[in-house]
Amino acid sequence: MSIASQTDRPRGASARLTPKSFFARNGALSKAHPNYEHRPGQIDMAVAVAEALADRRHLIVEAGTGTGKTLAYLVPSILSGKRVIISTGTKALQEQLFFKDLPFLQSMFPEPIRACYMKGRQNYLCRQKLYDAEREPILTGMEERKEFQIIRDWEKVTKTGDRSELGEIPEGSSAWWKMDARSDNCSGQKCAQFERCFITEMHRQALASDIVVVNHHLFFADLAARDRAFGSILPDYEAVIFDEAHEIEDVAGQYFGLSVSNLQVHELVKDVAAVSRRKQFATPELDRSLIQLGDRCDEFFALFPHEVRQGFRNHKQFLHANDAVYSELQLALKTVSARLELVQNAVEDTLPLVRRAQLLQQGLRYWLETPDPANVYWVEARGRGVYLQATPIDVSKMLASRLFDRLETVVLTSATLAVAGEFDYLQKRLGVPNARTLSIESPYDYANQVLLYVPPHLPDPRQPEFSWRAADVIHEVLEASRGRAFVLFTSYQQMRQVYEMLKIRLDHPMMMQGEAPRTALLEKFRQTPGAVLFGTSSFWQGIDVQGEQLSCVIIDRLPFAVPSDPVIAARTEAIRQAGGNAFYEYQVPQAALALKQGFGRLIRGANDRGALVLLDNRITKLPYGRVFFDSLPPYRLTKKLEDIQNFFDA
């Protein structure tokens, strides 16, 4: 992979601005922002980012909540004259940057800020698929036809083709799935709509932009594609800034690894059947080959355990015992591919399908025949899908060679990067060489704004009586806080169990993750006085509820990752084999960062006030608890329930 350099492009009058002058008491921001606050930490971060971009160095910044880190990295990026990729942890933050923060900054810069944002292809409409659907019977049912009419009318006026503009279409719309711009069936420049394609236009805008806003999944999909010579997605760039950088290890592992599923095979069967009829090259022989492929797929994937997530090590034994079934699946894929290659005058339609069949063959061969000791192999069942997964045990060397060694500036920032004030854990896990580090404390007065309650009398969370004993404490705390709380759990089972115990005892409005989409639940929570929301990992980060509506966050236990999880088990075993202490080097730091994220939901503004409750008193009883306390802001600690009651009565 080669990431090309550009010539720095000073911005006329903007070239006289500096990050320090921009954020100064009488600077541009103070004159434009209606709620301006002088934040020394924001200035320190902006100056550090500017120096990293100018000096071509890497930078790690832990910026406490309220620092204003978004503007602190956007302003020096704009002033640098370089093409900078801004990569976020969520699409919501990505859209906030592009539709809110960048337009606000534009009002303070005399020259246009050349910026765009990019999402994965499945977020965009494929015009050719839409036009084909008007002529050919690919829609089923009244709901799909209704959604198609909405999409067709919208296509005539949209400039982006981004489905986020379509509020009327549900998240799981099958009509959208049939018309999105996934690369599976894309014929690229051979497509009749290539010049009008929304993906083509997105790439054009990116090439003309200095600031390109993406999310981590798209960034690492691009990084993997560059390395595998499949063609890059993003334009060349000189620097990347990762916001919510604590998520990078897991996301990178997904894209540096491999996933093959029965759903991929069945989607190929369905797409070949649809395209062959639409383009009139269907034959009885091709239909029989597709039926054979579907049957062989079902036989093969039925051989794997249908567990939620289970490690897989016995490749040789499995292949020896099931070679006939595996070989028949490979032959069926090869046969479909060969029949498609024989089709005349439709190469733009068949080529993507052939490529998919071949990639499935290669993926299965790589996963089963040539296991790499650097990977952990595992099987996961989700709904109707059975997924064969391979994940790198250690992504640090890959990130070092593919990213940090090849790019002149990488900035990693988040409110949760340091463990006990140090960045050693992050640097080791990500392979970050020679980076400058900077810790910026939150401007909030945690000692007065927050009370942390750890009940001393509860049993160990691993004991069977913990759930009902914890439910009693939660009930007492919620009565004191008058609801207005998140109750967060490390497992769905525990969440449902405690929810059922409390729903007949609590008078406050209760809602639970899974009852509605996350965004709908959050909106309902914000609009419902005294509400209590029960949730798991997806509510631990990226949630912003300011004011009294969220006045209490309760967490059931220290968020240690499940040790039996195949990826966690492989990584801890690798540390042990290298002579390290996996518990203190990996599991404790990982849990400390997760706890910081969970607790970070509470205080989102200078006037927020509330209580944090951790029902796991191992933090006060066992030696490793000190690591957690040293990683958290300076909360006021109590072991008395009456202190919580007095706090809310004050």
pLDDT digits (tens, 9 = 90+) for 604-644: 888 889 999 999 999 999 999 999 999 999 999 999 999 99
Contact 330, 322 (CB under 8 A): no
Q: Which helix (H) or strand (E) holds 128?
A: helix 127-135
- Residue 137's pLDDT band, with cuts at 50, 70 and 90, is low
Computed on alpha carbons and rounded to an integer, the radius of gyration of the chain in Å comes to: 27
Partner residues linked to 389 by β-bridges? 259, 378
Q: How far apart are CA 274 and CA 280, in angstroms?
A: 10
Report residue 417 as tokens. 């990067």
Distance from CA of residue 47 to its chain's centroid? 28
| Selected residue with higher pLDDT from 9 and 604 | 604
Residue 140 — very low, low, confident or very high, per pLDDT cuts 50/70/90?
A: confident
pLDDT at residue 228 is higher than 70: no
Q: What is the mean pLDDT of residues 11-22?
A: 70
pTM of this structure: 0.87
Task: Sheet with 258-261: list strands edge to edge.
Answer: 258-261, 385-392, 375-382, 310-311
Residue pair 535/486 in contact by the 8 Å Cβ criterion: yes
pLDDT value of residue 229: 43
| Numbers of helices and strands, H then E, in the chain | 28, 18
**Rounded-to-10 torsion of CA 545, 548, 549, 554:** 80
**pLDDT at 134 exceeding the cut of 60:** yes
pLDDT at position 630: 94
What pLDDT is recorded for position 32?
85
Q: Band the pLDDT of 363: cuts 50, 70, 90.
A: very high
Task: Name the average pLDDT for the chain.
Answer: 89
Can 258-391 and 446-649 be said to share one CATH topology? no
Split at pLDDT 50, 70, 90, the class of 8 is: very low
- Give the mean model confidence (pLDDT) for residues 473-498: 94
CATH number of 18-114+209-253+395-440: 3.40.50.300
- Residue 331: what pLDDT? 97
Rounded to whole angstroms, the Cα distance separating 379 from 260 reads 10
In the block, which residue shows the tokens 């923060």? 101
Separation of alpha carbons 29 and 25, rounded Å: 8
Q: What are phi and psi of 429, to 5 degrees?
A: -65, -35
pLDDT band, residue 244 (cuts 50/70/90): very high
Given a cut of 90, is residue 233 above it in pLDDT?
no
Distance CA 649, CA 611 (A): 12
With 70 as the cut, is the pLDDT of residue 11 above it? no
Average pLDDT of the segment spanning 335-348: 88
Q: What is the mean pLDDT of residues 26-48?
A: 89
DSSP secondary structure string for all residues of 478-509: HHHHTS-EEEE-S-HHHHHHHHHHHTTT--S-
Q: Could you tell me which of 201, 215, 206, 340 has the C-alpha nearest to residue 269? A: 340
Q: What integer pLDDT is reported at residue 459 of this predicted model?
A: 95
Choose among 285, 283, 303, 305: nearest CA to 293: 285
Rounded alpha-carbon distances, angstroms, from residue 578 to 374, 571, 573, 574, 585: 14, 11, 9, 6, 12
State how far the Cα of 549 lies from the Cα of 532, in Å rounded to an integer: 10
What pLDDT is recorded for position 194? 83
DSSP code string of 238-274: SEEEEETGGGHHHHHHHHSSEEEEHHHHHHHHHHHHH
Hey, what are 109's tokens? 């810069």
State the CB neighbour count (10 A cutoff) for residue 569.
17
The Cα 522–Cα 269 span in angstroms is: 39
Among residues of the chain, what percentage have pLDDT more than 90? Answer: 62
Question: Where does the pLDDT of residue 2 fall: very low under 50, low under 70, confident under 90, or very high at 90 and above?
Answer: very low
Strand-pair partners of 556: none
pLDDT tens readout for residues 301-319: 999 988 778 999 999 999 9
Per-residue confidence at 12, pLDDT binned at 50, 70, 90? very low
CA-closest candidate to residue 517, choices 172, 251, 180 = 172
The residue-averaged pLDDT of 472-484 equals: 95
Query: What are the sequence ranges of the domains in the chain?
Result: 18-114+209-253+395-440, 121-199, 258-391, 446-649
**Residue closest to 129 by CA, chosen among 263, 268, 271:** 271
Q: What is the pLDDT of residue 13?
A: 45
Assign 537 a pLDDT band (cuts: 50, 70, 90).
Answer: confident
DSSP 13: G
Backbone angles phi, psi at 473, to 5 degrees: -65, -45
Which tokens is 186 given?
Answer: 């894309």
Question: CA 617 → CA 46, 351, 453, 460, 622, distances in Å?
Answer: 39, 59, 10, 8, 9
Average pLDDT over residues 206-233: 82
Separation between Cα atoms, residue 462 and residue 450, nearest integer Å: 28
Angle at 525 between CA 520 and CA 528, to 5 degrees: 120
Topology of domain 258-391, per CATH?
Fumarase C; Chain B, domain 1 (1.10.275)
Q: Which residues pair with 611 in a beta bridge?
A: 451, 552
Q: CA 130 to CA 136: how far, in whole Å?
A: 10
Mean pLDDT of all residues in 19-24 = 90
| CATH code 3.40.50.11540 for 446-649 | no
